[in-house]
Amino acid sequence: MARVVPPARPRKLAKVPFVELADGRLQGVVSSGSDIERVYVSSVAAGTYAFACSTNNNRPCGGARGWFCNHIRALITEAVLQYGAERVTRYLRVDLGDEQPTAHTIADAMTATGPSEASSTAAASVFSRFLRHLAYLELAPSTLPVPEMQWFPPTRAVA
Amino acid sequence: MVPADQGGGVMRADLLAEPVAGLEEALDAVEAFDRVLVSGLLRPQPAQAAGLAELAGAVAGSPLASRVAEAAEKAAAGTAGEDHFVALAAARVALLGSVHDALTSQLDEATGRPRGEEAAPAPAERHAVNLLAAARSWLCDLARAGWQGIDHDVVSGAAQVVSAMLPDPAFRRLATVLDGFAAELAASCPGASLDQVPVRRWADLWSRAALLTVPGAAGVPAIGTATGRLLPLGVDLHEHATAAQAQVHAVFEPADGTAPRLVRATVSAPKPDTVVGVGVWQLLRPHMSLLTAVSEGRSVDLVDMPITAEGDLLWSDEHARPGEPADPFATARVALPTAVAPVTAPLDRHPARIAVPVFLEGYEVHTDDESLTFAVAGHALAVDTDRVPTAGPLTPEAVAASHACIGLVRWDAGAFRLQPLAVETTARKKTVAVHAGAWAGGTKDKAGVKAEKAATDAVAVLRERAGRLLRK
């Protein structure tokens, strides 16, 4: 009966409104610090750590040339807050050796392998997943019972 | 002194430990089928054919017999079509329905509570079948891939169906299951590297969803209206990454003087996965005034509130107004023992659906390492404290220190368990009640206020982002 996925932990969303472990990547959306109309779509692939960062208008991020930019680092930090460091480590298949999993050690372990830049082809799908996520707020609540929610009890376990 | 309520109020916990005839055999057949789904039905092996045959054999004496036998044969040959998969799902649901019925009659005996009569179901509305067909096709892809064969490509097939279904209330039920199920599968990809497969759970979700793709199956039509006094007992909260549901269990006293009944009122909302815990109340609260009444410890007066045969009030605030103060523990002591329990609709019968409100007191609390047990008249009843939501003031510690408890009896992993909804403890020689749903209508508690504020901020950020980025 118990749920397979523990609930996410609450975090502040101002800087990184969306982060998820999906499609074999850590991916999400980071708000630009200078332009409120602009967001960056960032991702790191599990296993290879191939990374990408571009704006929602598909312009490459200047900081992500050959190196994890600050957007990607912010994404890792928020993912650790939301899902817990262990789940992020496991999902990205990061080998930390004896080190404690933290956003910092995870990012360092990945950059130490010299990951390559991925093409930004994933950006469109990540951005559309973000928009889909936002659309949940616009859906009206319902008072029709959903008996199948009995399979999703609350749990005191945290991610 | 003799305890006042030796009659209907005392639960016979001893009866809950009695073995149920045929239960193991039914669950064995279910398990045989569930193992089939682990490796999938794309290229079935002989062991899977045996599992399918076991399921078909278990329903051989039922009206499903010939359809399931045919489906099992086709599936074993790797040539099952969508109707065959639905037939297999139906057989599994029927078997678990029989388990539900046996457990429910055992519980009725233990609580001594009367059970209502079965109402003829009203015909449900039928809706556009295209989306249902799309959902079914995804579920069949899953069954062919098997849990060990799932990958992001297979799982992501649900996203479009769910997005198209969620806005339509008629599809909300199926969409909500598919969404929670798909998220869980996505988090478990690739299936080939899974250490442990939640075999029973995923087969449950798969088979329920498959049946809900049959046009009309998901409908819960009202069969009448309720006018009278509603006395809340407690709130049961459900939550997956992108949905939350609050279900209020209550005793309804009809104004016409007929017997009081056990009823439920439910509100659910889709949500972003970053709104969690205490934060979900603010999504649900505006749509059901009952949540506020629960927090204020009030009854609610109902006028012509639609109600289903299963005792679900289809809530709308226009049929409700706040009533007199009503203590849930008084309701549990006085009104609950004689309240008539509704009969669960055939398609909804499943052991996981069992959630029977009970009142217990005079138990001994036993704690060891991780687990908590109430000894009720000498018989142990496991207490599921993990089900106490973090979205309220009730804690496992309060449950362990309690001397009276309102809870839901559930059946999980082969045994009855108690989910606490509220407890009475003693503090400075005074009795204090703590309710899991106390914050449903709002709270002044410091930790609760802080968590609500964080969720409000999260929603505000997302709405701002949505305003700028959506529909551009």
Indicate whether B198 and B270 sit together in one domain.
Answer: no
Partners of residue B454 in chain A, C-beta under 8 Å: 10, 12
Structure tokens at B463: 């709405």
- Interchain CB contact of B27 with A (< 8 Å): no
Residue contact A13–B458, C-beta within 8 A: yes
Q: Most B CBs within 10 Å: which of A136, A138, A155, A156, as the mutation test of the B interface?
A: A136
Whether B19 is in a domain gets the answer no
**B14 has pLDDT over 50:** yes
pLDDT for residue B218: 87
Indicate if B282 and B159 belong to the same structural domain. no
Query: What are the φ and ψ backbone dihedral angles of B267, each rounded to 5 degrees?
Result: -140, 135
- State the CB neighbour count (10 A cutoff) for residue B472: 7
Question: How do beta strands B404-412 and B415-427 pair?
Answer: antiparallel
pLDDT band for position A102 (cuts 50, 70, 90): very high
Q: Which residue of A has its CA nearest to B390?
A: A156
Burial class from Cβ neighbours inside 10 Å (0-12, 13-18, 19+) for residue B259 reads exposed
Same domain, B253 and B327: yes
In terms of domains, do B156 and B249 share one?
A: no
The pLDDT of residue B284: 96
Collect all residues of chain B within an 8 Å Cβ-Cβ radius of residue A17.
461-462, 465
List of chain A residues whose C-beta atoms are within 8 Å of the C-beta of residue B186? 22
What is the average per-residue pLDDT within B27-52? 96
Instruction: Reply yes or no on whether the pLDDT at B52 is more than 50.
Output: yes
The CATH number of the domain holding residue B245 is 2.40.50
Pair B80, B160 in one domain? yes
State what percent of residues in chain B have pLDDT above 90.
Answer: 79
Among residues B265, B268, B233, B279, the alpha carbon closest in space to that of B443 is found at B279
Query: If you average pLDDT over residues A114-125, what whole number do you get?
Result: 87
What is the pLDDT, as a whole number, of residue B355? 97
Name the residue type at position B9.
G
Q: Compute the distance between CA of residue A54 and CA of residue A41 in angstroms, rounded to an integer.
A: 5
Query: What is d(CA B3, CA B11) in angstroms, rounded to the nearest whole number?
Result: 13
B222/A contact by beta carbon, under 8 A: no
| pLDDT of res. B5 | 44
Number of domains in chain B: 2
Mean pLDDT value of segment B173-187: 95
More confident residue, A22 or B38: B38
Regarding whether B282 and B168 lie in a shared domain, the answer is no
A154–B391 C-beta distance less than 8 A: yes
- Residue B156's contacts (CB-CB under 8 Å, 6 or more residues apart) are A23, B186
Helix (H) or strand (E) holding A133: helix A122-135
Are B267 and A142 inside 8 Å of each other by CB? Answer: yes
Tokens encoding B223: 């069969």
Give tens-digit pLDDT for A33-78: 888 888 999 999 999 999 999 998 888 998 877 889 999 999 999 9
Tell me which residues of chain A, numbers 38 to 57, contact chain B at a CB-CB cutoff of 8 Å: 39, 56
Domain boundary (B304, B320, B338) is at: B338
Q: What is the mean pLDDT of chain B?
A: 92
Is position B344 within any domain? no
**Domain boundary at B310, B338, B366, which?**
B338
Q: Say if residue B47 is in the same domain as residue B71.
A: yes
Of the partner residues A7, A134, A143, the one whose CB lies closest to the CB of residue B466: A134
Query: Of B190, B212, B234, which residue constitutes the final position of a domain?
Result: B212
Measured between beta carbons, the chain B residues lying within 8 angstroms of A56 are 469
pLDDT in tens, B399-451: 999 999 999 999 998 899 999 999 999 988 999 999 999 999 999 899 889 98
Checking if the pLDDT of B68 tops 80, the result is: yes
What is the reported pLDDT for B126?
61
Q: Which residue of B has its CA nearest to A10?
A: B274
Both B71 and B175 in one domain: the answer is yes
pLDDT band at B8 (very low <50, low <70, confident <90, very high): very low
Is the same domain home to B87 and B202?
A: yes
Q: Does B164 touch chain A (CB under 8 A)?
A: no
Range of the domain at B253: 222-338
